[in-house]
Structure 1
């Protein structure tokens, strides 16, 4: 089994993934809706910027986030408002970095779900006098549930598996910024392969369970949409 330090690192990582995913779902819902429903000049460039974490080396992104969150960066005044010395090497700083790094993994599934909506239903609801918020809650959200499930699962799993960015901006402070991926790296660096194997196995199982749950839910949703009730 895992030692106490590894359990604590796993809990910090899970807490970070939960907080980050919740924030991203709130932030990306209006952003994905705007990107999916509006055609404005520069939208492609904006999407490219949002998608940078997909291709940018984590060390590069982590370096600039470290500068931004440090006392001399924009994060300096935010830290002062929160009564902190610095956002770097703190859990709130990890949350900010994780939101930036995992953003495309939540934004893209939501945007795809909104693009696939039946516009005729929205138009008919508008003609019937339904307000925009009513249409979004009663029509958009139910149809976009598969997109939200994918976004939540991918955002959570990607955040839980972060290494380069979290190590760069968070370091390894037990109970604060030491997450499972960092703990695994430290075990390997110390030559403690037994502990590394156990922690890696736990992370592997969590990842498989998350993906299994996502694909099973998607198959069920697809079967229901086709009028069948199979649940395989």
Structure 2
């Protein structure tokens, strides 16, 4: 939900803007696709830490520092999974074009009304794809999660880190159980996604 709330305005701006900054913002959003998770996690750790710009801001606001907390884990996961949400939404918005908005404007619909009554229904397949990909990618993340959240039981330990712990402890049966669950989850997520795309194409 947080990914969709944050990613939707970014995707809309990227789809509609003619600004010279479009390429820069698009590249920043897409960085997690090409950066190793440890590199991204390291710089997020610096930024969110007590001496980083974000860390100093959160301390000034009385929120403390975010690394090795659940809140920090959420922030890192949102940033790392952002391209998996923004790109499908951007493609959906670009596919709509400007014609439906022009028609809505002639009917005296405000930009907000046009967005919620015209754009959102037409972009529904993009939202579903973005939600599925964003959720699946967040659930399976390991590197950034370990760098920012650590491995604190009942606080920041996630399934991928738990699998790593089981393997380190030679507890292969437990690792198989969790890894198999993740494998099935990923398969059914992709199956649902491609089945929906196939049905949409057929229509």
Q: TM-score, normalised by structure 1?
A: 0.82
1:178 paired to 2:157: yes
Match of 1:174, SS? coil
In 2, the alpha carbon distance for the partners of 1:122 and 1:62 equals: 40
Is contact 1:157-1:207 (8 Å) kept? yes
| 1:75 aligns with one of 49, 55, 62 | 55
- Identify the residue that residue 167 of structure 2 maps to in structure 1: 188
In 2, the alpha carbon distance for the partners of 1:113 and 1:72 equals: 40
| 1:210 aligns with one of 178, 182, 189 | 189
- Identify the residue that residue 23 of structure 2 maps to in structure 1: 44
- Identify the residue that residue 11 of structure 1 maps to in structure 2: none
Per-residue CA deviations over 1:58-114 (Å, capped at 9, x if unaligned) read 000000111111122222441463544x21100000001011101111000000000
In 2, the alpha carbon distance for the partners of 1:176 and 1:220 equals: 40
How much has 1:138 moved relative to structure 2?
1.2
Is contact 1:79-1:87 (8 Å) kept? no
| 2:107 aligns with one of 106, 128, 148 | 128
1:155 paired to 2:156: no
Gaps spanning 5+ residues in structure 2: where?
none
How much has 1:207 moved relative to structure 2?
1.2
- Identify the residue that residue 100 of structure 1 maps to in structure 2: 79
| 2:34 aligns with one of 46, 52, 55 | 55
How much has 1:126 moved relative to structure 2?
0.8
Which protein has greater RCO, CA pairs closer than 8 Å, 6+ apart? Answer: 1
Q: How many residue pairs align between the two structures? A: 202
How much has 1:163 moved relative to structure 2?
0.4
Is contact 1:150-1:214 (8 Å) kept? yes
In 1, the alpha carbon distance for the partners of 2:97 and 2:63 equals: 48
- Identify the residue that residue 113 of structure 1 maps to in structure 2: 92
Q: Pick which of 202-211 and 149-158 moved more.
A: 202-211
How much has 1:34 moved relative to structure 2?
1.0
- Identify the residue that residue 147 of structure 2 maps to in structure 1: 168
How much has 1:215 moved relative to structure 2?
2.5
In 2, the alpha carbon distance for the partners of 1:31 and 1:206 equals: 28
Gaps spanning 5+ residues in structure 1: where?
1-21, 227-232
Runs of 4 or more above 6 Å deviation? none
